[in-house]
Amino acid sequence: MSTDQHISQAPTISPLPMRTAWLVLAVVVLADIMDLIDSSVANLAGPSIRADLDGGQVTVQWVLSAYTAAFALGLVTSGRLGDLLGRRRLFLLGMTGFTLASLACGLAPGVVFLIVARTLQGLCGSVMIPQGLALVKVVFPPQQLRKALTPVGPLMGLTMVAGPILAGWLLHLDLFGSGWRSIFLINVPFGVVALLLGRRVLPRHGGEDRTARLDLTGVALLTAASALLIVPLIQGRELGWPAWTYGMMAAAAGLLALFVVSQRRSRHPVITPTLFRKRGFVVGLVIVAGFYASLSAFVLVVNLLLQQGLHWTPLRTGLSLIPWALGTAVAVLLAGAVLAERLGRASLHLGLFLAVTGLLALWWSVAHWGADVTVWNLAPSLVLTGFGSGLVFVPLVDFVIGDATAEEVGSGAGLLNAVQQFAGAVGVAALGTVFFARVGHPSAHSYLSATELVLGIAAGLNLLTFLLVGLLPRHARQTHS
């Protein structure tokens, strides 16, 4: 289940009959799966999209970053909107928009249309996803909630494993000549089913806080600062870094400072200010930013190397990522069941150490085998990288929002997921720029060299986060539970 929700702490209605409650959970999980698949399969389809729509190297970065950046921006305010407008209404509105935007992506006639559709898809996803956990918390009685959420983790892990395989399979089948378009069109029937079922079973009230207000000034400042940062990061290299790109990034820093000031003065801040007095929250968000920037860049460059550099088919590329996905899924289950609670901070150190080791092993494999590298050469380092990353996910969430109060946990969870998404977008933009700058004139050798460079930077980012973990308490607290 995504940790992106502005969670209401005081449900306003009685739990529903268990059969209906389980159907509500099914609708919410289906929405999470649609988002998870959509954000992952685009990595695999990036080279095919670029080839079909005749876009430049920056096309892949925009197609990926437009979704994640828009998703992150919307998450910051979506919880407040759920309080004001109703969670059921926003969930169904977001699902409708997400489904229509998926259809638009699948029918996109050109690059600009696709990027706009991906942006709308991300915004609609950010409206839909945060309402889910709040609705689930309302429909299940407290004693049944943990039991209800138990299968969600394995299901998300299975989705992570199946995502690259599904994308590669769809691209390989090329149904009705649809090519890469099928990875977006596949969302449409699932969206229709979720909408029809959701209209029947979602509760009319979802624990809304009618005293909440939306700080429009804060929202505008944060949105503008984020846009001013990500646009030059994506476009700068292709345009030769003109002066306006540096001006935009400087303006982004200024607007971000104004946002912080506005939050201190606001009666209804977008982000609860007291969170920033907690060391675990602040340090944890910095770790989240570095970790997810590294992770997104790793996924991007591996796909680009295998498909564009070595000319592997999308299906072969998807199958080659199975060891990474399996390692991640197994580690998430272990961390959630045992390691995170028993080891505390040490589980983060262990996970990041293994992730760094795996990235360096992958760097060695690429450097040693070169264009002759095989799936079996890559598998050990991919398993290690995935397993290390999987050990980080669960305890990192606990450390960031573990000592948040009941009044802070919703805002903290929303900001946590927003940082995850935005760091992923910035990682794709910044390290994608580094990657394509090293590629220069495309060839197998230049792609191999660029991959080695980015893998080294990604390992360095994880090493930095490894050092920052030492600033966290030994064990995560659970103030709000």
Residue 443 neighbours by CB distance under 10 Å:
12
Residue 418 neighbours by CB distance under 10 Å:
26
Model confidence at 117, pLDDT cuts 50, 70, 90, reads very high
Average pLDDT over residues 370-378: 91
Angle among Cα 77, 281, 475 to the nearest 5 degrees reads 135
Q: Are 451 and 459 in contact (CB under 8 A)?
A: no
Q: Assess whether the region 16-204 and the region 274-481 belong to the same CATH fold.
A: yes
Q: For position 86, what pLDDT does the model report? A: 80
Lowest mean pLDDT across 216-220, 265-269, 309-313: 265-269
Model confidence at 439, pLDDT cuts 50, 70, 90, reads confident
Q: For position 146, what pLDDT does the model report? A: 57
pLDDT of 105 above 60 = yes
Q: Are 3 and 419 in contact (CB under 8 A)?
A: no
Distances (CA, A) of 323 to 43, 160, 469: 17, 11, 27
Closest CA to 88 of 204, 209, 210, 192: 204
| CATH code for residues 274-481 | 1.20.1250.20
Closest CA to 459 of 326, 306, 290, 329: 290
Residue 326 neighbours by CB distance under 10 Å:
19
The better pLDDT of the pair 2, 243 is held by 243
Give 351-402 as a DSSP string: HHHHHHHHHHHHHHHHHHHGGG--HHHHHHHHHHHHHHHHHHHHHHHHHHHT
pLDDT of 408 above 70 = no
pLDDT of 259 above 80 = yes
pLDDT of 4 above 70 = no
Matching residue, tokens 């991300």: 122
Domain ranges of the chain: 16-204, 215-267, 274-481
Question: How much is the CA Rg of the chain, to the nearest whole Å?
Answer: 21
Model confidence at 93, pLDDT cuts 50, 70, 90, reads very high
Q: Are 407 and 345 in contact (CB under 8 A)?
A: no
Please provide the average confidence, as pLDDT, over all residues in the chain. 80
Say what angle helices 444-468 and 279-304 make with each other, to 10 degrees. 170
- The predicted-structure confidence for 43-73, as pLDDT tens digits, reads as follows 677 777 777 777 666 677 778 778 877 887 7
Average pLDDT over residues 278-284: 84
Q: For position 261, what pLDDT does the model report? A: 85
Phi and psi at 137, nearest 5°, equal: -65, -25
pLDDT of 100 above 90 = yes
Average pLDDT over residues 231-246: 79
The share of the chain scoring above pLDDT 90, in percent, equals 22
pLDDT of 91 above 80 = yes
Q: What is the pTM of this model?
A: 0.76
Quick one: how far is CA 43 from the chain centroid? 12
The better pLDDT of the pair 393, 159 is held by 393
Average pLDDT over residues 313-342: 79
Model confidence at 120, pLDDT cuts 50, 70, 90, reads very high
Q: For position 155, what pLDDT does the model report? A: 65
The better pLDDT of the pair 437, 144 is held by 437
Q: For position 159, what pLDDT does the model report? A: 67
The better pLDDT of the pair 289, 41 is held by 289
Lowest mean pLDDT across 245-249, 411-415, 439-443: 411-415
Is residue 477 helix, strand or coil? coil
How many whole angstroms separate alpha carbon 284 and alpha carbon 382? 25
pLDDT of 407 above 90 = no
| CB within 8 Å of 143: residues ≥ 6 apart | none
**Would you state the structure tokens that stand for residue 329, as one six-digit string?**
């899924």
Report which secondary-structure segment, H or E, holds 424: helix 409-439
Q: Are 260 and 428 in contact (CB under 8 A)?
A: no
Q: For position 206, what pLDDT does the model report? A: 59
How many whole angstroms separate alpha carbon 430 and alpha carbon 104? 27
pLDDT of 475 above 80 = no
Class of domain 16-204: mainly alpha
Closest CA to 31 of 93, 73, 77, 110: 93
Model confidence at 217, pLDDT cuts 50, 70, 90, reads confident
CB half-sphere exposure, 258, CA atoms < 13 A: 16
How many whole angstroms separate alpha carbon 11 and alpha carbon 133? 12
**Would you state the structure tokens that stand for residue 173, as one six-digit string?**
């089948």
Q: For position 237, what pLDDT does the model report? A: 66
Q: In the 3-class helix/strand/coil scheme, how is 253-309 assigned residue by residue?
A: HHHHHHHHHHHHHCCCCCCCHHHHHCHHHHHHHHHHHHHHHHHHHHHHHHHHHHHHH
pLDDT of 145 above 80 = no
How many whole angstroms separate alpha carbon 53 and alpha carbon 112? 10
The better pLDDT of the pair 310, 341 is held by 310
pLDDT of 480 above 50 = no
pLDDT of 10 above 60 = no
The better pLDDT of the pair 85, 405 is held by 85
Q: Are 256 and 224 in contact (CB under 8 A)?
A: no
